[in-house]
Chain A
Amino acid sequence: MSGHRLPRGGVIDRDREIGFTFDGRRYRGYAGDSLAAALLANGVGLVGRSLKYHRPRGVVAAGAEEPNALVTLGDGARTEPNCNAAMVELFDGLAARSQNRWPSLAVDLMAAAGLAGPLLAAGFYYKTFMAPTRKAWMVYERVIRRAAGLGAGTLLPDRDRYEAMNAFCDVLVVGAGPSGLMAALAAARAGARVILADEHAVPGGALAGAGVQVGGTTGHDWAGATAAALAATPTATVLPRTTVYGYYDDNTLGAVERVTDHLPVPPDGAPRQRHWTIRARRVVLATGAVERPIVFAGNDTPGVMLADAARTYAERYAVAAGRRIAVFANNDGAYRTVGALAAAGVTVVAVVDPRTAIGAAAAAIARAAGAELLAGHVVARARGGRALATIEVAPLDAASRADGAVRRLAIDALAVGGGWTPTIHLASQAGGKPVWDEALAAFLPGAPRQPWRAVGACAGALDTAACLAAGAEAGSEAARACGRDGADVPIPPARPEPVGDRPHALWHVPSGRRGKAFVDLQNDVTVEDVRLAHREGFRSAEHLKRYTTLGMATDQGKTSNVVGLALMAAARQVSIAEVGTTRYRPPYTPVVLGALAGSARGAAFRPTRRTPMHDWHVAHGADMGAAGLWLRPLVYRRPGETVEDGYIREARQVRASVGMVDVSTLGKIDVQGPDAAELLNRVYINAWLKLPVGKARYGVMLREDGIVFDDGTTWRLGETRYLMTTTTANAAAVLAHLEFLLATAWPDLRVAVTSITEQWAGMAVAGPNSRAVLAAALDDFDMADAAFGFMAVRDGHLDGVPVLVTRLSFSGELAYEVYAPAHHGDAAWRRIMAAGRDFGIVPYGTEAMGALRIEKGHASGPEIDGRTTADDLGFGAMASRTKAHVGRAMMDRDGLVDPRRGKLVGVVSLDGGPIRSGSHVVAGTGRSPGRSLGHVSSATFSPALDRHIALALVEGGRERIGDRLYATDPLRGGHVPVEIAAPCFFDPDGTRMHG
């Protein structure tokens, strides 16, 4: 191909030259060029290699539909594969690389695949490599994926910033062509809040060149002036470089604004892209249409492009696709390309048209251009390898075949216009089935299922004047539907042009000539592949797509789908309407994942919850671990200590003297009202009506299906006021559960529940010296057992700050919990640490807390795993049989009272080795372990017992105490001899905590 820059014309800025590279070679273009335009201007015709056969490919289109010209931009962390060169704006220093070739674009050794062409037909991979086993496929897949593919992304973290916007408007207009601009203008003039989004940098759509005349000036200037007037309207937002990619429920649309992709790197503080979630009361879809090709042998030769693309390159970018061009068209509209090329001084050798009746205006354009008009003829084959050299033109005979005598035309570019395909992607996402229009030979939007309306080319109107009028009408109507009324806007006159709304339905040139005829250029799907799919029974639109890959990958078949469906219809001898089209799904064009992620990445991926004492923990060397969204201290390691050293030291000190752990993360729910006790009585399995004021009680709650849901203590603070604590993990779920029951099952209960988790900082002080420490820390608080017994709750003060003190024990030691208002939490913690200095108080983390509770056999998250019953965990005796608590009705089902269920037991390692949680408890040795008798749920080294212990859920439960079994872990290795024990390993009588 010998593309070149025209000396005049276009809407580029010839005063601003831009340097860029393609595969390392330096080129120059102008501001306003797309990468594809600049490559064509530099005579670069070969831009990529095809997916399967590695055939040379050139630029085909000038918009989002481009199937071939995919390049990789940037490097390192900013590597961006599969960029559509027709949509990439040229900037200084742009470095593009071609894809899917080795070692180079010109000499691609993988093109040998082309020689094996007949073997690589549709379904080839499945048929050949799936046998004999799935394993074989997994080996082949890696090789195939390397040979056939698109560009490679990067594994480096994205360095750019992405923003998210939520926007609301009366009228969203998608597309800033003649229809969209008029719709937005009419709606804005009526006073509606309008958003106008367009995927291109400059408005105008089909007008965005210098050829069309609107409102007495060029389409380009009219569109620019109109968009500028809109942008100056306070109620209108104009979003260039913004692709509306998805249409979702409730008129919610997703759009991506490429804020700085047209710059070398985003300026400081600027996002690379911005994701818009737009909620619109009315939507006007003015998305236009894309031209489609006519398929013939060799139609993928670089130099063969769409007719309207050739026009756009000439009129907008002042780039001629070649020096001797032919046009192959089946409709009058494509003759605009003939006129545009002739006006630009490019030689149009011939116009090949299968029709014998050609519109007078179109024929006149061809005559004026000096082109030979070959009516009733078709292009039967293109030849030339890496650059188009000749086409073979033949008459279309009475049987609509092109087997007759051939004329060879030596040309370097061929512009093909096969009619127009309305861009109905968004309409299809939010509407009924697309409707086949026989005259236009295209699918039009189906009936809307949401308040949108399609106008202009999207609705099948290809005439500029008609688009302007329809847009204005749709904009006014949308504004009226939103309660905005205003004067009609004047419709600018447009110079008439030939229109391609009655194409001769020629999809594929039937001829006996050899050579692959490509339906889908991006996926290398040929006419023969579609026929093969038909022969093998893959005949529906959806099967055709999946079997041949027609319409997949980055272009989603924008130029190929209708042709493929037409060929299938012909093979099935049914109408295209009967074959139907596949359902369009978002996104319309590829969306960068970073734009969807927005700022929700890394530390901002989800909220982090920190307790009021967080900074103290960090300052004192805590390793912080995630507990849901919370960060909690795992262990406060001293220099030289391992995690294990640390938690063993902490746990020993708790049992020997005193320690303190941050329990602020426990869920805390304020329960108030005359029926508060009744609510507790209905959600916990045990009895609550007689709990005195100033006392706490441990409770277990079930789900409706009888499985344990959560546990914790609830404290009676007053006659009608309780404070319920939940596990850290279930805090939100328990509150929602209570709210649900109060709303749906017991609306008559006079009780309100409120989360107060974040209002209170909690700290548990545990160990034989905890009483003495708190006696010193609290203001005038009688800590004596008689005054403040086990499970007591009382208000107190700490340095004058009101606190709530309870005597509870999770560790099995004499222990208390102190709750301070959140903003006093840090001070209260420091005060208690200071009071404990003489006793050697240690802060301890969740590791030590876990070791202490396993020693006591207390069930926790790993035991309350959504599968265990109260009886499995040893709470069976707690359950009241006389009240109708949640789960009561289902808890005695056969499966839940089966004696073979696993019950909570203790496990002691006999060989001194650690037991891994997740191990299975078995009777046999390593080689033949036998069936699983249960599993280890929690394991630790026990500082108190000086051996490895665990909790497990084992069939037979306590009847197995004393049994010698094995804890086996075939996945990670390990087969530990163990003895089953009672779940409480330490101080089973509880004398320490009651002391």
Chain B
Amino acid sequence: MRIPCPYCGPRDAAEFAYGGDASSARPDPETADPDAWYSHVYLRRNPMGAHVEYWHHAQGCRLWLKVRRDTVSHRIDGAEIVGPWAGVPIGGPDTA
């Protein structure tokens, strides 16, 4: 499996660490109730098909990415940078 890192270009999945379901947002610690935390920390859907998940380019640029992957075919439909650099245009050497 290869992941198209927006910064580094397409790279083998072995360079990345899996970071889990990206559809679950961290609850607001000021307002969230225990159920929201319980759900965020422990409950995960196990969808068959489209899935959005975090991958850490741990042996590359070290950016966290949001990757759209099909859990059946392992087809990857794209990846985007998460965090302060999200959406920043990048002219990497190998971003084809």
Interface residues of A (CB under 8 A from B): 248-250, 252, 279, 449, 704-705, 732, 736, 739-740, 742-745, 747, 884, 888-890, 893
Q: Please list the 3 inter-chain residue pairs (A to B) with the smallest Cβ-Cβ separation, ordered nearest first.
A: A743-B83, A884-B29, A743-B64
Q: How far is the CA of A739 from the CA of B54 in the complex (A)?
A: 12
Which B-chain residue is minimally distant from A884 (CB atoms)?
B29
Q: Is A888 touching B56 in the complex (CB atoms < 8 A)?
A: no
- CB A181 to nearest CB in B, in angstroms, measures 29
- CB B86 to nearest CB in A, in angstroms, measures 7
Chain A residues within an 8 Å CB radius of B63: 743
Q: Is B54 touching A744 in the complex (CB atoms < 8 A)?
A: yes
Decide if B74 is an interface residue (CB 8 Å cutoff).
yes
Which B residues, 19 to 74, have Cβ-Cβ distances below 8 Å to chain A? 19, 22, 26-27, 29-30, 32, 34, 37-38, 40-42, 54, 56, 58, 62-64, 73-74
- CB B10 to nearest CB in A, in angstroms, measures 9
A selection of 26 A-B contacts at a CB cut-off of 8 Å is A248-B1, A250-B1, A250-B2, A250-B76, A252-B1, A252-B2, A279-B2, A704-B26, A736-B58, A739-B62, A739-B64, A740-B54, A740-B56, A742-B83, A742-B84, A743-B63, A743-B64, A743-B83, A744-B22, A744-B54, A744-B83, A745-B26, A747-B84, A889-B29, A889-B37, A890-B41
Which A-chain residue is minimally distant from B22 (CB atoms)?
A744
A/B pair count, beta carbons within 8 Å: 59
Chain A residues within an 8 Å CB radius of B30: 884
Which A-chain residue is minimally distant from B74 (CB atoms)?
A249
Q: How far is the CA of A238 from the CA of B30 in the complex (A)?
A: 64
Chain B residues within an 8 Å CB radius of A736: 17, 56, 58
Chain A residues within an 8 Å CB radius of B73: 449
Q: How far is the CA of A736 from the CA of B17 in the complex (A)?
A: 9
Chain B residues within an 8 Å CB radius of A743: 63-64, 82-84
Task: Tell me the count of chain B residues lying within 8 A, CB to CB, of chain A.
Answer: 29
Q: Is B56 touching A889 in the complex (CB atoms < 8 A)?
A: no
Q: How far is the CA of A740 from the CA of B58 in the complex (A)?
A: 11
- CB B57 to nearest CB in A, in angstroms, measures 10
Q: Is B86 touching A740 in the complex (CB atoms < 8 A)?
A: no
Chain B residues within an 8 Å CB radius of A744: 22, 26, 54, 64, 82-83
Q: How far is the CA of A739 from the CA of B84 in the complex (A)?
A: 11
Q: How far is the CA of A893 from the CA of B76 in the complex (A)?
A: 38
Q: How far is the CA of A677 from the CA of B32 in the complex (A)?
A: 24
Chain A residues within an 8 Å CB radius of B26: 704, 744-745
Q: How far is the CA of A740 from the CA of B29 in the complex (A)?
A: 17
Which A-chain residue is minimally distant from B30 (CB atoms)?
A884
Chain B residues within an 8 Å CB radius of A739: 56, 62, 64
Which B-chain residue is minimally distant from A885 (CB atoms)?
B29
Q: How far is the CA of A890 from the CA of B26 in the complex (A)?
A: 13
Q: How far is the CA of A743 from the CA of B56 in the complex (A)?
A: 10
Chain A residues within an 8 Å CB radius of B83: 742-744, 747
Chain A residues within an 8 Å CB radius of B27: 889
Q: Is B29 touching A705 in the complex (CB atoms < 8 A)?
A: no
Most buried by A among B17, B29, B73, B76: B29
Chain A residues within an 8 Å CB radius of B42: 705
Chain B residues within an 8 Å CB radius of A740: 19, 54, 56, 64
Q: Is B54 touching A890 in the complex (CB atoms < 8 A)?
A: no
Q: Is A747 touching B54 in the complex (CB atoms < 8 A)?
A: no
- CB A477 to nearest CB in B, in angstroms, measures 22
Which A-chain residue is minimally distant from B84 (CB atoms)?
A747
Q: How far is the CA of A248 from the CA of B12 in the complex (A)?
A: 12
Which B-chain residue is minimally distant from A251 (CB atoms)?
B2
Q: Is B29 touching A249 in the complex (CB atoms < 8 A)?
A: no
Q: How far is the CA of A744 from the CA of B86 in the complex (A)?
A: 10
Which B-chain residue is minimally distant from A750 (CB atoms)?
B84
Q: How far is the CA of A448 from the CA of B85 in the complex (A)?
A: 37
Chain B residues within an 8 Å CB radius of A252: 1-2
- CB A449 to nearest CB in B, in angstroms, measures 6
- CB B44 to nearest CB in A, in angstroms, measures 13
Q: Is A249 touching B1 in the complex (CB atoms < 8 A)?
A: yes
Chain A residues within an 8 Å CB radius of B38: 890
- CB B22 to nearest CB in A, in angstroms, measures 8
- CB A886 to nearest CB in B, in angstroms, measures 9
Which B-chain residue is minimally distant from A682 (CB atoms)?
B29
Q: How far is the CA of A747 from the CA of B83 in the complex (A)?
A: 5
Chain A residues within an 8 Å CB radius of B22: 744
Can you add 17 more A-B contacts, CB < 8 Å, to A705-B42, A739-B64, A889-B27? A249-B1, A250-B2, A704-B40, A736-B56, A739-B56, A739-B62, A740-B19, A740-B64, A743-B63, A743-B82, A743-B83, A747-B82, A747-B83, A747-B86, A889-B29, A889-B32, A889-B37
Q: Is A705 touching B58 in the complex (CB atoms < 8 A)?
A: no
Q: How far is the CA of A413 from the CA of B73 in the complex (A)?
A: 48
- CB A738 to nearest CB in B, in angstroms, measures 11
- CB B29 to nearest CB in A, in angstroms, measures 3
Q: How far is the CA of A825 from the CA of B88 in the complex (A)?
A: 40
Chain A residues within an 8 Å CB radius of B32: 889
Chain B residues within an 8 Å CB radius of A747: 82-84, 86
Q: How far is the CA of A745 from the CA of B40 in the complex (A)?
A: 13
Chain A residues within an 8 Å CB radius of B58: 732, 736
Q: How far is the CA of A744 from the CA of B54 in the complex (A)?
A: 9
Q: Is A890 touching B62 in the complex (CB atoms < 8 A)?
A: no
Chain B residues within an 8 Å CB radius of A742: 83-84
Q: How far is the CA of A989 from the CA of B6 in the complex (A)?
A: 55
- CB B79 to nearest CB in A, in angstroms, measures 13
Q: How far is the CA of A747 from the CA of B88 in the complex (A)?
A: 13
Most buried by A among B19, B58, B64, B83: B83
Q: How far is the CA of A250 from the CA of B27 in the complex (A)?
A: 35
Chain A residues within an 8 Å CB radius of B41: 704-705, 890
Chain B residues within an 8 Å CB radius of A884: 29-30
Q: How far is the CA of A867 from the CA of B35 in the complex (A)?
A: 21
Most buried by A among B17, B26, B34, B42: B26
Most buried by B among A742, A744, A745: A744
Chain B residues within an 8 Å CB radius of A449: 73
Which A-chain residue is minimally distant from B33 (CB atoms)?
A889
Q: How far is the CA of A893 from the CA of B38 in the complex (A)?
A: 10
Chain B residues within an 8 Å CB radius of A249: 1-2, 74
- CB A802 to nearest CB in B, in angstroms, measures 27
- CB A758 to nearest CB in B, in angstroms, measures 15
